Structure 1
Amino acid sequence: MARLEDLGLEVERLRGNRLTGVRGETDRETYARAKATMAIVVSPPARRKLQPIAPSADWRVDLAEGCPAHCQYCYLAGSLSGPPVTRVYADLDDILDNLSAYEGRGTITSRRAARQDEGTTFEASCYTDPLALEHLTGSWRRAVEHFGAWEAPVQLRWTTKFADVGSFVGLPHAGRTRVRFSVNCLPVTGRFEGGTDRLPDRLAALRTLALDGYPVGLTIAPIMTVPDWRDRYGELLDGVAAAVQGVPDLDLTAELITHRFTPGSKEVLLGWYPRTGLEMEEQARSRKHGKFGSVKFVYPAETMSELRSWFEARIAERLPSCRILYWT
């Protein structure tokens, strides 16, 4: 609260735990108000019982939920209920102290030979973008220091579309935090990622942290079959190769995530961005069913196979030291 007030931001202290005044007369007005609102709250008790977050990490740990950016394919659409207010959790010490009970108990990296070097992994950006909020909260710097002092085979993981990493340089991270940058080809970044930092700035930030000894990564998502996608994603990989050139002891990973949507997220996104040019044609997709009967629309198997083989070959060619953690 003191940090926010020192920045001259308007702060309202509520008498109860109900947030009012967010809903407008239209969905667009509600969306605009919610995106401009950040609530400081105590995390719900259910959040202390961590959930697996395959295929990324052993456990999901939330320091906040919601994001002030305006990505037209937003993965949070349909995942979080109500207006998209950003909520940050004030009980940070309790959240971090709770993690030790989960060490060695995961199934994604803790027990899989291909990723055992990562130890027990905790994903801290499932429902938010850390660097969109860090200047207001300081939460992720505290988390980096917590993992740096944790003498155990553990790793904090988070991903971002922003570039303000200066306050992370020099922290005693001990190599136990992997920062991944969410990147895409310029047609996607330029058209669908409103309110985020430019791609060249993200790549420069990746280099900055890699030079400071952080394990770093690429979250290439959502991969889309835009016109000339091979050329456009080839340009992206060339940019990454230039950004990491000459970095000593580079530890670089890639996570490859194709574009998908659900009926619910499509409805929400069209309400938020009624003029979007995002392709969400159900007839052009394959229907995939989750284990609880949920439905999502993904690219057809032939397209998925073509995309996967291209990315795997080109990453091996242009970023030979990069490990691909998964494809989905």
Structure 2
Amino acid sequence: MFGWQDLAPERPAPARGSFRDSPRARRMLDVREVYAEPAALASPRGQQIMGRLRPDVTVIEVDSHWRIPALHGNDGNIDRWVRIKTETLVLGVKHKLTTRVNGRSADWIAPGPSNGCAMSCAYCYVPRRKGFANPITLFTNIEAIIAHVRRHVRAQGPKPEPNQCDPAAWVYDVGENGDCSVDALVSDNTADLIAAFRTMPTAKASFATKFVNPDLLALDPRGRTRIRFSVMPPEDARLLDIRTSPVPERIAAAPDFLDAGYEVHFNLSPVVLRPGWEESWADLLTHLDDVLPARVKQQAAAEIIMLTHNEPLHEVNLGWHPRAEDLLWRPAVQETKRSQNNALNVRYALHVKRQALDRLRQLVGERAPWLRIRYAF
């Protein structure tokens, strides 16, 4: 057992905006420079975001949020990895609004309100596309994003039959390339999405998070937003989940978020295979069973996601956080894999992965039998 204590006592939801000004929020984001497309900067959302930043922030106009030489592809940024995530923000306009099929965690992947993150998880896939630095890019045309999603939801009609994503609602992942909880520190994009899905009776929003932001408790999702708290053994998280909320805090937040109107699920993610991994996951599952109240367990479900890594990211990590690679980079049990988006990644060998998934499912059945596994890969 970890000796964790309950970190989320009963309390009223905070007034909106109270957390974003807290010392903890300022440690996560102390924005000192903003790279901005002119249209994003001039937009109402862009002006709102700028109004929440320090008055002496430096603004650098750029033609494209994707092409910023000082950030993307600049290997000199490796030793400033965490500082860039803390002090840099990018504002852009999302022009390509597409919703694509998923069928795993969600029925659909919606166009996200952001790209990149202020946290620094050592296995994050977003830097694989953006280069050596991936601070938060916030998209300021949130109205267009929401209008696109509304049209897509209407076009689907009612969900014809249950599936692993949800028995009744079409599920839209709205945070594939960022963390909506962190985005909410500086933008109302997350709040606007939650409010929009509140009015869509045939759909739900869904996003995974590793950051507990109490401001989200005041957004009144009315059961139309699923928040998925990602969890892993704390000893792994301390090494790999840099700048995130501690795992026990994520777990302890579940009852508060359920009571605030969210559907609360868990991501057992990523599962990192290393000596002692089975015992650590058994302890984690026992802790979930010990501390979560019955009302959380009754509606909870989980995804199991095995680690996928990437050789260029491995090289980047060696420059700023080499200890993480002792766990992540294990060629003896890994093989290359061509992903759905045609990226060449590294995953556990098929027989190793199959055995690990079988064992983890067995541990769930033994330690947290109430935790329904929606899918595993």
Q: Distance in 1 between matches of 2:104 and 2:164?
A: 13
Letter in 1 for 2:114: A
Q: Which of 229, 232, 243 is the aligned partner of 1:184?
A: 232
Does the CA-based 8 Å contact 1:69-1:195 persist in structure 2? Answer: yes
Letter in 2 for 1:87: T
Q: Distance in 1 between matches of 2:322 and 2:266?
A: 30
Distance 1:118 1:71, change over 3 A: farther
Deviations 1:202-255 (A, max 9, x none): 111122112333211111111012322122111111222234223268321101
Q: Which of 210, 220, 227 is the aligned partner of 2:258?
A: 210
Does the CA-based 8 Å contact 1:72-1:278 persist in structure 2? Answer: no
Q: Distance in 2 between matches of 1:22 and 1:290?
A: 25
Q: Which of 246, 250, 264 is the aligned partner of 1:198?
A: 246
Letter in 2 for 1:207: P
Deviations 1:25-61 (A, max 9, x none): 8242453554231112211x22x12223342222222
Distance 1:297 1:179, change over 3 A: same
Q: Distance in 2 between matches of 1:114 and 1:221?
A: 18
Output aligned runs, 1:1-328, within 5 Å: 1-2=47-48, 4-6=50-52, 8=54, 10-17=56-63, 19=68, 21-22=70-71, 26-29=76-79, 31-32=81-82, 34-35=84-85, 36-43=87-94, 45-46=95-96, 48-60=97-109, 61-81=111-131, 83-103=133-153, 113-150=163-200, 152-164=201-213, 166-247=214-295, 250-276=298-324, 277-290=326-339, 294-328=343-377
Normalising by structure 2, we get a TM-score of: 0.76
Q: Please give the secondary structure, in 2, of the residue aligned with 1:136.
A: coil
Does the CA-based 8 Å contact 1:286-1:297 persist in structure 2? Answer: yes
Q: Distance in 1 between matches of 2:350 and 2:69?
A: 46
Normalising by structure 1, we get a TM-score of: 0.86
Give the unaligned 5+ runs of structure 1.
none
Distance 1:9 1:256, change over 3 A: farther
Does the CA-based 8 Å contact 1:104-1:119 persist in structure 2? Answer: no
Q: Please give the secondary structure, in 1, of the residue aligned with 2:186.
A: helix
Higher mean C-alpha displacement, 268-277 vs 186-195: 268-277
Distance 1:171 1:291, change over 3 A: closer
Letter in 2 for 1:96: I
Distance 1:211 1:103, change over 3 A: same
Letter in 2 for 1:31: W
Does the CA-based 8 Å contact 1:182-1:219 persist in structure 2? Answer: yes
Q: Number of paired residues? A: 322
Q: Distance in 1 between matches of 2:292 and 2:220?
A: 22
Deviations 1:69-90 (A, max 9, x none): 1211222231334632320011
**Pairwise CA distance, 1:307:** 1.8
Letter in 1 for 2:209: T
**Pairwise CA distance, 1:121:** 1.5
Deviations 1:134-192 (A, max 9, x none): 11112212211111122x3101000111112x222243312110000111002211111
Distance 1:291 1:218, change over 3 A: closer
- Higher relative contact order, structure no. (Cα contacts within 8 Å, ≥ 6 residues apart): 2
Q: Distance in 1 between matches of 2:336 and 2:79?
A: 32
Letter in 1 for 2:241: E
Distance 1:8 1:308, change over 3 A: same
Letter in 2 for 1:8: R
Q: Distance in 1 between matches of 2:315 and 2:280?
A: 29
Q: Distance in 1 between matches of 2:279 and 2:75?
A: 44
Distance 1:115 1:248, change over 3 A: closer
Does the CA-based 8 Å contact 1:211-1:247 persist in structure 2? Answer: no
